[in-house]
């Protein structure tokens, strides 16, 4: 449907659109802007009330306008925090990969589920936790859940507290913040079930009548989390809108 210029419905802004709710990485493969990972809330029919994770790679001429995306059940979103918390109790570097599968890819129904993307949850040797969403033949980018250069914790003697304990506290706090937002969104933005997927008691599959929207943001370049360095196994899920099939490069 076409709208007169300036009259198109505006996407409803949610707390997850805030720049401080996003993760930022180091530019790769000739990019001049920092890649960004955004958490979102899905209200599109048939997959409403799910979480989304979207990476904007910022790499020139990257596929899908530089977007890599997964839509996952809310329980899997919460399990990311549990995986991180478990990692933080272990010594040394850690990494786990979650393959996210779909049976609808490149505009057609598949005979069997295929891997769309992989979600990587890891911890560096120095204690920094990271997430990565990767797809076949696409840029692989780590997003560290760590304070940016504008926030330093200092001990009594004046030394900066760049320790595994510090990184652990920050990662736990960040994930608690994100999941606290999801706690509220699953109530305030809940879409009721109906047989045709049009939203049931919510009166439509989307907020603001804006047509099949996902509440995931784009790629603002301010603020940011990260000192990023270069940068494995459980369950499945639903991958969203990627153009890869089969095994990806990280597995």
23-60, pLDDT tens digit by residue? Answer: 999 999 999 999 999 999 998 877 889 999 999 999 99
User: Residue 54 is inside which H or E element, if any?
Assistant: strand 50-56
Q: How far is CA 87 from CA 57, 84, 179, 235, in A?
A: 26, 5, 18, 17
92-126, pLDDT tens digit by residue? Answer: 999 999 998 888 777 788 888 888 899 999 999 99
Task: Decide the pairing of beta strands 36-42 and 214-215.
Answer: antiparallel
Q: Is the pTM of this model over 0.95?
A: no
Closest CA to 99 of 232, 231, 240, 241: 232
Instruction: Extract the tokens encoding 63.
Output: 């596929």
Q: Which residues contact 55 (CB under 8 A, 6 or more apart)?
A: 35, 36, 37, 38, 67, 68, 69, 133, 141, 143
End-to-end CA gap in the chain: 42
pLDDT of residue 198: 55
User: Worst-scoring range by mean pLDDT, 161-170, 173-182, 183-192, 215-224?
Assistant: 215-224
Any alpha helices (H) in 127-232, and if so which ranges? 164-188
pLDDT of residue 45: 79
CA atoms within 13 A of residue 232's CA, in its CB half-sphere: 9
| β-sheet with 94-105: strand ranges across | 94-105, 108-123, 129-134, 143-145
Arithmetic mean of pLDDT over the chain: 78
Is the confidence at residue 181, as pLDDT, over 60?
Answer: yes
């Amino acid at each position: 449907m076409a709208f007169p210029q300036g009259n198109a419905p505006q996407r409803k802004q949610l707390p997850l659109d805030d720049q401080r709710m996003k993760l930022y990485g180091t530019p790769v493969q000739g990019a001049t802007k920092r890649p960004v990972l955004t958490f979102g809330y899905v209200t599109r029919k048939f997959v409403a009330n799910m979480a989304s994770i979207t990476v904007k790679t910022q790499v020139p001429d990257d596929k899908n306008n530089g977007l890599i995306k997964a839509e996952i059940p809310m329980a899997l979103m919460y399990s990311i925090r549990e995986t991180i918390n478990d990692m933080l109790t272990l010594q040394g570097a850690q990494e786990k990969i979650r393959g996210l599968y779909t049976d609808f890819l490149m505009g057609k129904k598949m005979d069997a589920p295929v891997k769309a993307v992989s979600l990587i949850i890891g911890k560096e040797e120095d204690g920094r936790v990271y997430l990565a969403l990767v797809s076949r033949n696409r840029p692989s980018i780590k997003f560290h859940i760590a304070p940016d250069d504008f926030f330093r914790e200092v001990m009594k003697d004046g030394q900066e507290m760049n320790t595994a304990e510090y990184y652990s506290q920050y990662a736990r706090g960040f994930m608690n913040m994100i999941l606290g937002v999801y706690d509220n969104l699953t109530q305030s933005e809940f879409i009721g079930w109906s047989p045709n997927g049009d939203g049931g008691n919510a009166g439509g599959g989307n907020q603001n009548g804006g047509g099949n929207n996902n509440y995931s943001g784009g790629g603002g370049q301010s603020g940011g989390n990260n000192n990023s360095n270069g940068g494995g196994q459980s369950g499945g899920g639903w991958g969203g809108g990627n153009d890869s099939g089969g095994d990806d490069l990280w597995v």
